[in-house]
Each structure stands twice: as C-alpha cells, then as structure tokens.
Structure 1
Amino acid sequence: MATLQRESDVAATREAVVAGLSAYNAARVGPRNSEPLALSLRDDHGVIVGGLIGELKWEWLHIDLLWIDEAHRGAGHGEALVALAETTARERGARGVYLSTMSIQAPQFYPRLGYQPCGVMEDYPVAGHRIHHFAKAL
C-alpha cells in the first residue's frame, strides 16, 4: 500500500524522484549524459557583465539563463554568447537547442538567431505576461 504525504526534507525527496525518473528515462532513451555549460562576458576589470548558463543532455542543449548587463547590451554580446553555446553543443554532438524566455525579457531576440517558436504559455509569470518556448536544430 502507498500513502501520499507532504515532505519537509525536500532534498531527499528530490534525490529519490530524480533517481527514479532518471532510471526510467535511461531505460527508454539512454543515459542523460548531462554536462553543464557556463559562458561569461567580462569587462576590462574581469567583472562578469553577462553570461549564459545551460546544460547539454542527451542530444540537446538547454539554455537556462542568458543575461547581459544593460550597459553592454546592443553590442552583439548576446548573439556571440548564443553562437558560442551552439558551437559547443555541436562539438558535443547535440542536434538542437531549446530555451524559454518571458515576455518581459527578449522573445524577439531568438527568432533573429534562427530559433523557432514551439509554444507560449499565457499569464506567466503573472497575468498579462507570457513565457515563450523556442527550439533550433543545429
């Protein structure tokens, strides 16, 4: 018999769920082969003024975060970070890239780089806004 309960030990519960789901997925599509990706843009003093955080998993790169400090926007740094991420993904055998961005961020940025919209969720993160999902074959 199984019972449902709320857990106070989130870390242990997460670990069990990730292990179970990973085993299930690996049995069907192979191991995840997860590899983190971190790229930075630094100013003349070495301070990070932009960057991209992602994860290579299976045959895809997931871009989780992309940020450029406002003082450095408009100079092509975002495009350069995405291009470097794509190059890295290709070198690691990825077939594509996927990501999400909110309407308050830069949904118009990614189509210029060849990304295709693959979904929109309305009223996220709050009513009147949306989150856009994009993908690109490499």
Structure 2
Amino acid sequence: MDEIAAENLQGKTGAAGPTTCSGTVHRETDVAGTREAVIAGLSAHNEALVGPRNARPLALSLRDEGGRIVGGLIGELKWQWLYVDLFWIDEMHRGAGHGEALLRMAEQEARDAGARGIYLVTLSIQAPGFYPRMGYRECGRMEDYPVAGERLHHFTKAL
C-alpha cells in the first residue's frame, strides 16, 4: 500500500472555523471496502442536510418474441429525482418507438414515486439528439470526453 503523508491542517480556518486534522493518505487495494466507507460517510453527510435518499432501483426492459432482453433502462429513484444510469436499445430494434416507450414508462414510474424530475447523462456517440425530442433540456456538456472530439451531455426533464 502506498502511503503519502497528508498535510497537517492544524491552524487552518475552514467554513466552520479553525480545524485540526492530520492523517495519512493511502492507495487502497480493498476498493469495495473503501467504496463502502466513502458511501456511508457521504450518505450520512447528505442525509443530515437534505433528508434520506429513499433510494429505489428501477429496471425496465424491452423483450423480443422469444423473451430475450433487447433493450432496457436502469435507473434509481432517489430524493425527488429519477437518475437514468443506463439506457440501451439493440440496433435491430431501434427506430420503432421502443426507446420512447421505455423512457415514457420511466417518466411515469418517476411521477408515481413523487419525483420532481429526471436526470441523465449520454455520450455524443450514443443518442444525444433523442432527448430534446422527448422534452429534455441539455443542462451541461463536457468536451473531449470520452476521447478527443466527443462530448458528454447532461440532460434534465421536469415532471
């Protein structure tokens, strides 16, 4: 494990006043354990400020006649929003309205759960033009991601 001595912050002034903190920064090999600790700490902090996440997963699928999944949407309802994490339609099933049907179903699920809106991220190599047609507003863009010349698009829709 790599260790780097952390800067001793004794005497520094933060938003809450003077702080005293010392520690050691480590490169962790237990990624899962570290992730769990970070999520627990961040969740406690966030919950103290804005209330519980009340997180609930959402999984919607498009199946062909044989029952095989040929499209789907994976998201999470948390706080007052639906975050769409993954959204995919098999190439052979695109252009037939299935993406619209999945997204509308997700929107209805979000409304039924009391969500105020939907948030998602997509790449320029995916389908960024689809979302404005569905009433989504681009609220951010990162250039040269995931590679030079491409973009990461952030979209929201109020419900």
- TM-score, normalisation: structure 1: 0.99
Alignment deviations for residues 64-91 of structure 1 (CA, whole Å, 9 cap, x no partner): 1111111110000000000000000000
Match of 2:113?
A: 92
Match of 1:111?
A: 132
Alignment deviations for residues 69-117 of structure 1 (CA, whole Å, 9 cap, x no partner): 1111000000000000000000001000000100000000000000000
Separation of aligned partners in 1, 2:120 and 2:93: 22
Separation of aligned partners in 2, 1:109 and 1:86: 15
Match of 2:68 among 41, 47, 51: 47
Q: Which has the larger radius of gyration?
A: 2
SS at the partner of 2:26? Answer: coil
Cα deviation, residue 11, structure 1? 0.6
RMSD: 0.5
Match of 1:78?
A: 99
Alignment deviations for residues 105-130 of structure 1 (CA, whole Å, 9 cap, x no partner): 00000000000000000010001100
Match of 2:79?
A: 58
Match of 2:40?
A: 19
Cα deviation, residue 33, structure 1? 0.6
Separation of aligned partners in 1, 2:33 and 2:62: 35
Question: What is the correspondence of 1:21-40 to structure 2 with a 5 Å cutoff?
Answer: 21-40=42-61
Tell which has more relative contact order, 1 or 2 (C-alpha 8 A, sep 6+): 1
Cα deviation, residue 51, structure 1? 0.4
Match of 2:123?
A: 102
Cα deviation, residue 38, structure 1? 0.3
- TM-score, normalisation: structure 2: 0.86
Separation of aligned partners in 2, 1:114 and 1:128: 26
Separation of aligned partners in 1, 2:79 and 2:109: 14
Q: Which runs of 5+ in 1 are unaligned?
A: none
Q: Which runs of 5+ in 2 are unaligned?
A: 1-21
Separation of aligned partners in 2, 1:21 and 1:91: 28
